[in-house]
Amino acid sequence: MTDIENRLRDALRATADTVDEAKPRPLPEHRRSRAEPNARGAPLRGWVLPLCAVAAILVMIAGLLGIRQLVGEPDRRLQKVPTMPRFLFASYIAEGRSSSRVEVHDSRTGRVMDAKQAPAGMSFEALAAAGDNRTLFVFAKKRGAKQCRSQIMRISVSASGKIVDYRPLAGSAMTGRVTRNGAIAVTEDGRKLAYAIEACLPEPTPQQSAVNGRIGVIDTATGARREWRESQGAGDSRLSWSSRGDLLFFVRSRVEGNAYTDFKEVHELRSLPVTRAGGGRLAQVSHDIRHIASPRAYEGVAAYPDGRRVLVFEGRLEAFSGNGEPPTYAPEADRLKEISADDGRVLRSIRLPDGPFIGSEILKVDASGGYLITGYGLVDLAKGGTAIQIRGVSGFFDLDW
């Protein structure tokens, strides 16, 4: 071995002796420059950045869903939550020392907010309220057995329930009378008013429900009027509009039989398309939805706003005088039925719990279609359950809200 090789071997051994296998070797330390950020934030970024990314994705998803709802479902955004109307309107005929009047009541407390006395010699009878719960119309008739002149009055109510306007409705002066509540009805927008009247004299015979009965519709802005006449001694009552004002629902009553002891009164739930011109007989121009016969009768009709369903109260005959007085019926709490306006099918029966009856057959639906006035109280159709008793209102001729 040469001298050079010996020197290289000795140098290698000397280098190997400096290595200690048990001593750890630290990683080279990185010397950061002044331009580099502090490395202490690195652990924080390790979990903050992923969370920020997830949050951004959730925001994007929420935004997309919101845009879809705005574009694809505008009706839900515009839909209002139905609330019970604030005011009840009641008409009273003159009795004893009490004069005929119209009262405005708070629907929750029954408190009288304001009242309008009928002019001397007049009587307020059937009434109907528009969908704004601030405009109502009342049938005013001359008092007296030989008086048969009538007119419909328009009443406006302020937001606080005070009567601020009272005037005759143009085109509403007529000769005739109403014999039941629900004889007038107004559309939700207040533009069309319907009435059902009959002749004052002669009185109906036992084989007649009415004499010269007719239904009319008045344009409340212009006073233009159309009428459809009855036949077969039939009479009409229980008027109710669809919200669009194209269909008028009513009950047509007629007597079958030739003797007082052998008669049958037939009650027909019908719809009248009022888009056509007036004239013609009601039996021919209206649609017979469903009919029942005595001893049963319709004691209330309330059309849903869509005009495809109708709520009816069915009652049983209690008394019939035969001397021109209307028959007396007793409504039954379990006879509230929802009827198809197309074919008369019973879609469902609604049983109202037993409760105090306020003494008048009433069935009126509010503009939302969610609340009813009945003879047993105020009913929330969505919630169901016990009818809320109507406070401070009794002995009235007609009631609406």
Every domain of the chain and the residues it spans: 82-400
One-letter identity of residue 292: I
| Peptide bond between residue 74 and the one before it cis (omega within 30 degrees of 0) | no
Per-residue pLDDT at 198: 94
Number of Cβ within a 10 Å radius of residue 6: 10
| Peptide bond between residue 353 and the one before it cis (omega within 30 degrees of 0) | no
- The answer to whether the CB of 368 falls within 8 A of the CB of 87 is no
Q: Is 175 left (phi over 0), alpha (psi -120 to 50) or beta?
A: beta
pLDDT tens per residue, range 252-269: 999 987 655 677 889 999
Rounded to 5 degrees, what are φ and ψ at 159? Answer: -65, -20
Element (H, E) at 264: strand 264-273
CATH 3.90.380.10 describes domain 82-400: no
Looking at the chain, the number of H-run helices and the number of E-run strands are 4, 24
Residue-wise burial string across 181-210, b where 16 or more C-beta atoms lie within 10 A, e elsewhere: bbbbbbbbbbebbbbbbbbbeeebebebbb
Per-residue pLDDT at 279: 81
- Read off the pTM: 0.75
pLDDT tens per residue, range 345-354: 999 887 765 5
Q: Is 324 left (phi over 0), alpha (psi -120 to 50) or beta?
A: left
Q: Copy the structure tokens of residue 340.
A: 């198809």
Per-residue pLDDT at 299: 83
What average pLDDT score do residues 227-241 get?
A: 94
